[in-house]
Structure 1
């Protein structure tokens, strides 16, 4: 087996190699950065110390030269010569200046008289820059008994010493100039080990070397690379000369306008890092040796790991081909490879035992021993291929048993399984004489399918009718007789489609339509699919409506009938559709309940109602908000927690809400409904039975519910003033509610007469179009402020209670 990058050995070796190289490169980079950082820090320190040494050296030289000038200034003969006559003895003065200059090694001398004019000068001609500097130092020299400065004379820097001549007042000044020359640079290098270059800048801004400890060519190159503003540099900078990198520092020693002088201290970076470079080379050698050793070790390790795995992979390939006789040969090893080989042997034995069972389970239903969906699709594809060759038709029937879930829940799953087996047998028996080539399959649950090759639509209808008749005959199991039926969907080739999955889908659509219509057998029609698409579209639009904030909260006020005081509102939802306009609840609430979307809608109404309640409370209006709950809401065990979160989020008390539930919603699952209601009531929320009187609930069960209110359905209220029977029902309901300690609310009040009649019967609260139609939530405050209860007057139905009682007794 060749060693390749995509092999396990290659990947192991590559991983080791990449990790080692990455680690070494990282280490070298860190070391290199450390070397460079340390070297530069060291050089910067050397240059900073060098500047201090240079300034100290300049100061020492200045003190020595100042002393030499002071000796001449205090010489009695010299003082007398300067003081003779108005102009002094010029020859004697000049001779004394020259002798003193030789003694102290001054390069120029000058005597300035009391009128601040140069009397005598030696060593140079007239230099305006020098004279200007000297005149600027005269006052300082007189006050401090001497002054020191730096001047450029002929593009060369000079250290100037000025000393007053006093007898006893100042009668003249001695000026001595000392060239800052190579000797200073040599002394500086001896003290600091730094290269020194004395440079001067002319009026044109160019720097020129004066003296240096390096070769003249190097000094010239250094000066040429200095920027025009280099005299302003306060820190080190780099210059490169013929490939050699220097770190330099410019020390300013004097300026005269654009002209100036400085000393450049430089340190070769290569020399400073020479020792570090040798150490870096040793590390490189060690790194290469380490990489070579690591490669060898990783190759050896990779082969030790990969070779047994490769052999096991070959064995797995033979197992894939169905050869279960092969042995691994590594089971005796005590390491992980041995454990893996042992697992391979166990797997081989298990696969060999289970393969036949898997094949059977993959294509056959273990409960009825009929073909399952996968096998039925294969059979359907074969029939379609044959029908296309012979230009025949193929039909399939799909059926779903009626009431099977109820049987399964009541009688148990074992009874349901036995029932499915009997149904499968009855279908096979029915088709044995009617269509010999037919195939029966159980697709899952209580769904069965029948394949009818070489059959037309009329034949499919006949067989579907026979099957339905056979299934409608009662089945007897364990001394129990069960009546079942089935909705049957019919689809076929080439009438409806030519693809197996498409035909199955079409037959399923027709089957569900048959169950909805309770019409036995239904042939697929594209219009059925369009209805399904419409329902799916409506669900999508409902979800988009929530996301796009298309729903609107409306409220209908509730009043105390005795006083007309507004005590609450019922929250209602309206849908402002961007295309259809206002969509009323009757058009989407039933669909929302059917699909389960009602939970999302209820959560939205609770959220908006809580926000409205808090807004009203902030304005000093405290009302009880009623919200309707559906059957699905009551079955949601998380509803109390969700509602509690809404109340906490909007800082609203539970007592501000009354949740309304219908009798039918409670009776769908009384146990779960009561658990949910008890948890809600424990929070402090009022509960109301909505549409009371229209359901079939048990009063014995109703009295155990934790409710606070009964709401009389509007069907009994609308015609109370004209129908004594409705009046009796309403009165009985009011008495029942009060006897149970409940608040009674009437809905559907559409006239003042009904209002007054309900008040006379003792009804507590009411709502209806007479008081207000549902209004947008943001208009409620204005409505309450403008609400005027009807004027109280003698009730026109004062004798209603007695009449109703008499009629009831007679009846």
Structure 2
């Protein structure tokens, strides 16, 4: 059976699934066994701790009972009261006999003066004396007290009982060793291995008594000693080649030394019954795998053989033979598949024709698509090579189509594309000298193939197309003005293959859209410009990543007070190779490519940092930042600006955003929406370069602006040009009548300063006050700035002469 065959794969799959299921089942069962065993052991250990404490309590009760009997013995009390040498022997004999009865290792008498008077073991008595004396008060108040003492690293249970006649005349002290006997008793009661341990900081753990064999006890203590800290919960040990789960129980503390008991339960013994079940399961698993292997082989043969026959039939269908006989008599899924094959033959022929149409036609306009256009272009190029002729390609991209699509919706855009296609087909059908073929390449791009045409004919047709598209389209009671940029490329003048010609026509088309100058014929210099643009865009992105941009500011001065009230933020590019790059060299390109949005974001962030530093110095200035057309079209700009203010903890009043008239007029509706949202946040807005654009006063009246900036072209020549003086004066009056603050740019002399001040201009900026300076030098400049002294300004002589004319 070949491994790559379906039959072998089915068998392999079935066996793999069965083995995987069985193995996973065994692992789950094994894990459950281990979990149950540990839970059972944990329960046993918990019960064992209770039992051991009970044993200790029983021993303590036994000691206290023996001590209480002795403390109430009349002869013993009399002997203590006489306190002579003969009675001392009686006392010592009573202590020895009483201790022997309850198997106490030490019995002693503490006198009313609280010192050991009689003891059956002087060495132990001396070691226990401090602990005993600390227990006397508790014993007197509670009719006895018990505790744990550690002598020579061995634990003892100690009981102190007061002797009252009726006042306290002494105390009886008895000790009971906590050793292997107690561990053996614990083992007999609970079946848990029990080890009595003591611990001191210097010598570590010592096993006093254990139910483990002597060598095993040492191994267990070594493993306990190796633990980083005293365990507070269950832990595992390996003793006598078996794994145990153990728990440490603290039973007493004597100074720095402590006594503990370690209870251990064998994990192997706990899981012994489960392991027999596990072996049975393994046997059943192996038997199940064997049976499943036989069943999977038979099932695979029943499935694979009919499929092999269908594969042969499918091969004939691939070769175009639709007459093959297919067995459709089976009533299962294989029979349904055979019936589907039989039905498929009729559908294949119909779909082949439809697929061919869809592969080479645009479904929206029913024009040839890009693939078909390339086929037609290749055929035309082949004919041109044979006949030494020419082929030209026109490529066009509709203007403002994306805006129409965004505003009016996709269905409106689709209808618009169909109308454009109809116009192009009607125009091309009227051509007599050439046989053009129009196609839709995708989106709003169309192409026209002109086989056997000349460059003059291509230019003429391009002009006709441009004129046709400039006529407004009427759709759903809406008049749409679109237009298009058209690029022209031809064989053999520009390229020799279809893809190259299309690429060149596309380059020329984008050049036409950029120039807004009708049709453009491909030229190699255009491509170089594209490469330079691509290089410049890459350098701009790298400059932003490498922090090559610098923030400069130009102060804005209030004419009346002469104080600095703000600054305009400007960007400078310090290129690592070309040095300082002027804004005129990269700002227009940044606006054209859309990189200006990232640059504006950088300027805003740097300006916010400047505002923070000024606030820290106790200086409140309004920083003006220029917004481009693309910034105004960004509907997310207000949200981004709010996020920056919140992150920097700044007020919106710290900024004044400047926009030009042309930026507003490019898309007044969207610009007005963006400006309204920014104004609602509390940020001031300014019309920059006022007087150089083409905005109407109606838009200016509606816009939520606070400031009007007079373009420097009207301010620079105010000393010598009376016309500029009149324009500036009128602009100031207009701004004030509209309730706006008026700022003059280009103040480069003291005379102009005084003229603007006499006209009641609010603020000014220019080289007279300061050239643009690095942002970090603004504070130093402010300290050095001094406003000019006020003077009377005479009427300019040139102005009077001009008026006389």
TM over 0.5: yes
**Which residue does 1:534 correspond to in 2?**
532
Q: Aligned runs of 1:419-430 on 2, under 5 Å?
A: 419-427=420-428, 430=431
**Which residue does 2:73 correspond to in 1?**
none
CA distance in 2 between partners of 1:477 and 1:716 (Å): 39
Q: Offset of 1:26 from its aligned partner?
A: 3.7
CA distance in 2 between partners of 1:300 and 1:643 (Å): 67
CA gap 1:293/1:528 in 2 versus in 1, 3 angstroms? same
**Which residue does 1:375 correspond to in 2?**
372
**Which residue does 2:22 correspond to in 1?**
20
Q: Offset of 1:620 from its aligned partner?
A: 0.8
CA gap 1:306/1:579 in 2 versus in 1, 3 angstroms? farther
**Which residue does 2:283 correspond to in 1?**
288
Secondary structure at 1:553's aligned position in 2? strand
CA distance in 1 between partners of 2:564 and 2:494 (Å): 62
**Which residue does 1:507 correspond to in 2?**
505
For residues 638-671 of structure 1, the C-alpha deviation after alignment (integer angstroms, 9 at most, x for no partner) is 2111111111111111112111111111111222
**Which residue does 1:608 correspond to in 2?**
606
CA distance in 2 between partners of 1:339 and 1:473 (Å): 61
Q: Offset of 1:711 from its aligned partner?
A: 0.8
1:661 is aligned, of 654, 659, 662, to 659
CA distance in 1 between partners of 2:287 and 2:674 (Å): 73
Structure 1, unpaired ranges of 5+: 54-136, 145-185, 196-221, 249-266
**Which residue does 2:353 correspond to in 1?**
356
- Are 2:466 and 2:518, in contact at CA under 8 Å, matched by a contact in 1? no
Q: Offset of 1:599 from its aligned partner?
A: 1.4
CA distance in 2 between partners of 1:471 and 1:620 (Å): 64
CA gap 1:381/1:44 in 2 versus in 1, 3 angstroms? same
Moved more, 312-321 or 565-574: 312-321
Q: Aligned runs of 1:348-497 on 2, under 5 Å?
A: 355-366=352-363, 369-382=366-379, 395-400=391-396, 414=415, 417-427=418-428, 430=431, 433-434=433-434, 440-444=438-442, 445-450=444-449, 452=451, 460-468=454-462, 470-471=464-465, 487-492=486-491
For residues 99-147 of structure 1, the C-alpha deviation after alignment (integer angstroms, 9 at most, x for no partner) is xxxxxxxxxxxxxxxxxxxxxxxxxxxxxxxxxxxxxx99889999xxx
CA distance in 2 between partners of 1:400 and 1:587 (Å): 29
- Are 1:474 and 1:482, in contact at CA under 8 Å, matched by a contact in 2? no
CA gap 1:300/1:713 in 2 versus in 1, 3 angstroms? same
For residues 216-247 of structure 1, the C-alpha deviation after alignment (integer angstroms, 9 at most, x for no partner) is xxxxxx9999989999999998677xx99999
CA distance in 2 between partners of 1:143 and 1:762 (Å): 104
* Count of aligned pairs: 638
Q: Aligned runs of 1:668-679 on 2, under 5 Å?
A: 668-679=666-677
Q: Offset of 1:700 from its aligned partner?
A: 2.3
For residues 542-594 of structure 1, the C-alpha deviation after alignment (integer angstroms, 9 at most, x for no partner) is 22222222211111111111221111111111112222221121111111111
CA distance in 1 between partners of 2:283 and 2:277 (Å): 10
CA distance in 2 between partners of 1:415 and 1:231 (Å): 89
CA distance in 2 between partners of 1:659 and 1:143 (Å): 89
**Which residue does 1:782 correspond to in 2?**
780
- Are 1:692 and 1:711, in contact at CA under 8 Å, matched by a contact in 2? yes
For residues 426-475 of structure 1, the C-alpha deviation after alignment (integer angstroms, 9 at most, x for no partner) is 43553x644x7x755443434213164xx6xxx64244245336546768
- The CA RMSD over aligned residues, in Å, is 5.9
CA gap 1:428/1:710 in 2 versus in 1, 3 angstroms? same
Q: Offset of 1:728 from its aligned partner?
A: 0.6
CA distance in 2 between partners of 1:404 and 1:188 (Å): 94
- Are 1:474 and 1:481, in contact at CA under 8 Å, matched by a contact in 2? no
Secondary structure at 2:501's aligned position in 1? helix
Q: Offset of 1:769 from its aligned partner?
A: 0.5
**Which residue does 1:646 correspond to in 2?**
644
Moved more, 484-493 or 303-312: 303-312
Q: Offset of 1:477 from its aligned partner?
A: 9.8
Q: Offset of 1:187 from its aligned partner?
A: 14
For residues 590-633 of structure 1, the C-alpha deviation after alignment (integer angstroms, 9 at most, x for no partner) is 11111111111112211211221122112110011111111111
**Which residue does 2:622 correspond to in 1?**
624
- Are 2:659 and 2:688, in contact at CA under 8 Å, matched by a contact in 1? yes
CA distance in 2 between partners of 1:362 and 1:579 (Å): 51
Q: Offset of 1:685 from its aligned partner?
A: 1.3
Q: Offset of 1:277 from its aligned partner?
A: 4.0
- Are 1:598 and 1:630, in contact at CA under 8 Å, matched by a contact in 2? yes
CA distance in 2 between partners of 1:807 and 1:141 (Å): 129
CA distance in 2 between partners of 1:231 and 1:446 (Å): 84
Secondary structure at 2:754's aligned position in 1? helix
Q: Offset of 1:283 from its aligned partner?
A: 2.4
CA distance in 2 between partners of 1:714 and 1:746 (Å): 7
CA distance in 2 between partners of 1:189 and 1:609 (Å): 81
CA distance in 1 between partners of 2:482 and 2:40 (Å): 96
CA distance in 2 between partners of 1:412 and 1:39 (Å): 76
CA gap 1:653/1:391 in 2 versus in 1, 3 angstroms? same
CA gap 1:421/1:332 in 2 versus in 1, 3 angstroms? farther
CA gap 1:620/1:236 in 2 versus in 1, 3 angstroms? closer
**Which residue does 2:714 correspond to in 1?**
716
**Which residue does 2:131 correspond to in 1?**
none
Moved more, 602-611 or 746-755: 602-611
CA distance in 2 between partners of 1:385 and 1:562 (Å): 79
CA distance in 2 between partners of 1:391 and 1:382 (Å): 13
**Which residue does 1:747 correspond to in 2?**
745
- Are 2:7 and 2:300, in contact at CA under 8 Å, matched by a contact in 1? no
- Are 2:556 and 2:566, in contact at CA under 8 Å, matched by a contact in 1? yes
CA distance in 1 between partners of 2:766 and 2:352 (Å): 72
CA distance in 2 between partners of 1:620 and 1:606 (Å): 21
- Are 1:331 and 1:342, in contact at CA under 8 Å, matched by a contact in 2? no
- Are 2:745 and 2:764, in contact at CA under 8 Å, matched by a contact in 1? yes
Q: Offset of 1:22 from its aligned partner?
A: 1.7
CA distance in 2 between partners of 1:4 and 1:350 (Å): 27
CA distance in 2 between partners of 1:245 and 1:700 (Å): 93
Q: Offset of 1:710 from its aligned partner?
A: 1.0
CA distance in 2 between partners of 1:295 and 1:777 (Å): 83
Moved more, 734-743 or 294-303: 294-303
For residues 382-404 of structure 1, the C-alpha deviation after alignment (integer angstroms, 9 at most, x for no partner) is 5667788x696774423326769
CA gap 1:344/1:646 in 2 versus in 1, 3 angstroms? farther
For residues 294-339 of structure 1, the C-alpha deviation after alignment (integer angstroms, 9 at most, x for no partner) is 7757967995999499869959958984889999969998xx9999
- Are 1:397 and 1:451, in contact at CA under 8 Å, matched by a contact in 2? yes
- Are 1:400 and 1:486, in contact at CA under 8 Å, matched by a contact in 2? yes
CA distance in 1 between partners of 2:671 and 2:649 (Å): 27
- Are 1:44 and 1:236, in contact at CA under 8 Å, matched by a contact in 2? no
CA gap 1:807/1:703 in 2 versus in 1, 3 angstroms? farther
**Which residue does 1:583 correspond to in 2?**
581
CA distance in 2 between partners of 1:231 and 1:631 (Å): 79
CA gap 1:370/1:244 in 2 versus in 1, 3 angstroms? closer
